[in-house]
Amino acid sequence: MKKLVLGLFILSSILALGQINQTEMLSTTTKNSESNTYSDSDIWHVFQNRRSVRKFKSDTIPEKDILRILDAARTAPTSGNQQPWKFMIIRDKHKIAQLKEACIKESMDYYEDHKDTSESKELFSQLIKTVYEDYCSAPVFIIILTDDNSAYASYNHWDGPLAAGYLLLAARALGYGTVFITDAISEKATKEVFQIPENYTRVCITPLEVPFEWQQKPPKKNLDDFIIR
């Protein structure tokens, strides 16, 4: 099943490469009750303009910005106030390069197991390298973990994504891009490259940086499609 999910991710990531648009670069606006616009720091603007980003600039991120984002993430709701999170900050370019190579290898192993795919091996390899070079263009990665020895460990699978959601929104509020990565960068590869102890479960991993370009807003269903009255 995980390999199937990985295959679907690879296809969607390749398609996403052509959906980048520069028209949504950060701008400073003021709230206007008639036009319903908001400043970048307004929470409603952040909700509407968070995007999954897959290609980044390579500028240096101030430590204070990273800590501010993580400080927001730690305030997420948690079962019994157990706060089971750890946020691993990755800046080592060598380690990020190792992660990229591990992901490329896993993807090529997937290809070898599914040779009925329509792409040639050479084309598939080129596409995969592009995907992971774009991901790894970011100078910082954040790994969100939960401690299996926490007070209410059976609730970690709920608590972890809450912290991740807060992190993604906080990053957007400061003008940074992120993406909630699970199968695209496997937990196995993450733990091996960064030598994460077995008592930690990875929730997700995300690059962190200003996007190379902001994506267009993807189509969303109408609010009424989600409401049961």
Please, which pLDDT band fits residue 188 given cuts at 50, 70 and 90? very high
pLDDT, tens digit, for every residue of 126-178? 999 999 999 999 999 999 999 999 999 999 999 999 999 999 999 999 999 99
148 and 30 Cβ atoms separated by less than 8 Å: no
Q: Which two tokens stand for residue 68?
A: 């501010």
Of 216, 179, 219, which Cα lies nearest the Cα of 24?
A: 216
What's the pLDDT score for residue 14? 45
3-state helix, strand, coil in the chain (%, to 5): 45, 15, 40
Taking CA 84 as the corner, what is the angle to CA 80 and CA 88, rounded to the nearest 5 degrees? 155
Look at the block and give the residue holding tokens 């296809």: 11
pLDDT, tens digit, for every residue of 90-121? 999 999 999 999 999 999 999 988 876 667 88
Residue 130, sorted as left (phi over 0), alpha (psi -120 to 50) or beta, turns out to be: alpha
CATH number (3.40.640.10, 3.40.50.20, 3.40.109.10, 3.30.1330.60) of 2-17+52-211 reads 3.40.109.10
Q: Which two tokens stand for residue 69?
A: 């984002």
What's the pLDDT score for residue 4? 45
- Rounded to two decimals, the pTM is 0.82
